[in-house]
Each structure stands twice: as C-alpha cells, then as structure tokens.
Amino acid sequence: VFSLVFSQNHQMEPCELSANTVIAHPRALTDKITLIRDAGPSKFQVIADFDATLTRYRVNGLRRQTSHGLLQQGNAYYDAKRQALYDHYHPLEISPVIPIDEKTKLMEEWWSKTHELLIEGGLTYDAIKKSVANSSIAFREGVTELFEFLEKKEIPVLIFSAGLADVIEEVLRQNLDRTFKNVKIVSNRMVFNDDGQLVSFKGNLIHVLNKNEHALDMAAPLHDRLGVDIGEEDEENVNMKERRNVLLMGDHLGDLRMSDGLDYETRISIGFLNDNIEKSLESYRESFDLVYLNDAPMWGALELVSRLFSTEA
C-alpha cells in the first residue's frame, strides 16, 4: 500500500507523501501535470532507463544484476574474460576524475571488447534464455500495471539502455506476464546465424556515455537514424516526435539527458535514488521532479500517469 501523492483535484498533498517520495517543487510539478493532462495522451510518451530503473537495485539484499552482468555464455573462459574487463573498466566508468573524452574512449574500448568476446565465445540465444532464468534480476513491483495502463492509452514506452537489447527482451518475456506492443527497446541488438549463434551486433555501439547522444533523434524513424533496430517500424516511430510531453525515468542524473533528442514541451522526470542517499539526495531532488528512495516500487509512477490520463479526468 502506498500513500496518495495527489488529491482528487490534482493538487499535491505533501503531507500524504510516503517517506520514500521526495518532491522539491510541488507547485512546478502540479503545473506540469496540468499542461500534460490538457494536451492528452496522444502527445505523451514515456522514456525509461532499464537497469535499476525498471528493475530493482537490490534483490534479497544483494545488488541487482544488469543485462550484461547476468549473462553466462556457457563458457567459463569467456565469462571470466568479460568479468576481468568489468573489474578493469567499471572503476574507470564511475571515476569522477577522468575527463569525459578520455572516458568515452575507454567506454568504447570496453563495450567493443565485450561484444567481441560474446561473438568469439559463440554466445547462443539459448544461453541468454538460461542466463535470464537463472538470474536474480527482478522488475520493480507495478511495472506490469504501468505498462498495461500505458498500453490501454496507446502511449509508447521507450526503454533506453547501454546494455543488451536481446537480454532485456528476454528479461521482459520471462518476468512480465505478457508482452506489450507499446514497449520498444533501444539498446545493442544482436544478430544470430541460423544455428542460433551470435555473429555480430546491429548498427552503432551504444555505451553509457554516448547513450544520450543517440537519444531520440525523432526526425527520422529510429532504426534509420541510429542504425539500431527497435522492432517493427510502424506509424508510432514516426509519430514519436509529435509526442512532445514526456515522462522520463532514470536512476542516474545522466539519464535526464535521455530526452535530449526530443524537442519536448513538458517533461516530468522521476529519479530512483537507490544508493548513497545522503550524499546524492540534494542533487537528485533539484534535478528530478520526483525522487523515489530505497528501491521504491513503480506505484508512484502508475499513480502519476493515472492522474494524468484517468478516464474521469
């Protein structure tokens, strides 16, 4: 059970907020809600990061696995080599002192080497299925309900990740009760041969630091523009640029840039602050409209979109 965030007349009621919800500027948020509600669901889209945003940060007290982290190639030698790369590059990824251009090169190096190892080690789709089945990855409670609500309102959800599209898709398949035709994934997508073995990756490499550069250049259908396959092209892809109101969800301040490619009118941002709360809360509360703490479920986001587009509204 979660506390009500909005009253019936859509005003913020801070006194009713759950202890896990932080809103620095309730009035600004209320104004955004009004603007987005008035424009209607056809002008709205959701852009979400995957790891630790849609999925939980901790499961059974242990740090969550990412789409990369859960992957077991079925070949201990290659798994160990990828782990060694992680041990070397992850500290560089999170280092605050490496200049951005230098770090970008390092991330390109890391992603290229990992992708090469996945190909060289003969990753199969079957191994992805098994890895996901054996993993501890879990969606936040309420993700299915959120997707269902958005699907009913024909609101697209774009999952944006520097991870692996095929793994994310398999996580969705195995962990949600059903598939959602309004949910698209923009991430690194694999090409398999007839024997089900990975042979290459499609399009441009998406790593943590160029994820936002690639973000949503909606001037053309995404798969043309980015060289990334986001599934069947449909009217929706082309119409995304017309959806100028956005709900953005992420777990890093950098995720706020996922909407860079969109000339948005009104954006509501939700930040999941999972760790280092004391150190990071100030910057999160000033940067995101809503901050959820302590690995909160998705109920707050569901309530927000329900308030935006409930049939009674």
Q: How far is the CB of 164 from ligand TMP (least distance, A)?
A: 9
Give the 3-state secondary structure of residue 155. coil
Distance from C-alpha of 284 to C-alpha of 140, rounded to nearest angstrom: 20
Catalytic residue among 31, 38, 49, 101: 49
CA dihedral 77, 115, 199, 218 (to 10 degrees): 160
- Tokens at 51, concatenated: 């790891």
**Is position 57 an interface residue for ligand TMP (rule: CB under 6 A)?**
no
Nearest to ligand TMP of 153, 211 (CB atom): 211
**Is position 247 an interface residue for ligand TMP (rule: CB under 6 A)?**
no
- Per DSSP, helices labelled H in the chain are 26-39, 76-94, 100-120, 125-134, 143-152, 165-175, 222-226, 235-239, 277-287, 299-309
**Is position 169 an interface residue for ligand TMP (rule: CB under 6 A)?**
no
Catalytic residue among 38, 51, 166, 177: 51
Nearest to ligand TMP of 93, 141 (CB atom): 93
Active site residue 195: no
Nearest to ligand TMP of 111, 288 (CB atom): 111
Phi then psi for residue 153, to 5 deg, are: -90, 5
**Is position 214 an interface residue for ligand TMP (rule: CB under 6 A)?**
no
Contact string 82-111 vs ligand TMP (x = CB under 6 A): x--xx------x----------------xx
Active site residue 49: yes
**Is position 271 an interface residue for ligand TMP (rule: CB under 6 A)?**
no
With contacts defined by CB under 6 A, name the span among 32-40, 120-128, 156-164, 265-273 that binds ligand TMP: 156-164
| Cβ–Cβ < 8 Å for 132, 70 | yes
Give the 3-state secondary structure of residue 208. coil
| Cβ–Cβ < 8 Å for 56, 295 | yes
Go through the chain and tell me how many residues it has: 313
Handedness of CA 66, 63, 143, 172 (dihedral sign): positive
**Is position 150 an interface residue for ligand TMP (rule: CB under 6 A)?**
no
Q: How far is the CB of 4 from ligand TMP (least distance, A)?
A: 31
Give the residue among 169, 159, 148 at the shortest CA–CA distance from 247.
159
| Cβ–Cβ < 8 Å for 122, 197 | yes
| Cβ–Cβ < 8 Å for 106, 98 | yes
Nearest to ligand TMP of 52, 146 (CB atom): 52
**Contact with ligand TMP (CB under 6 A) among 49, 166, 169, 289:** 49
Catalytic residues: 49, 51
Contact footprint for ligand TMP (CB under 6 A): 49-51, 66, 68-69, 82, 85-86, 93, 110-111, 114, 161-163, 208, 211
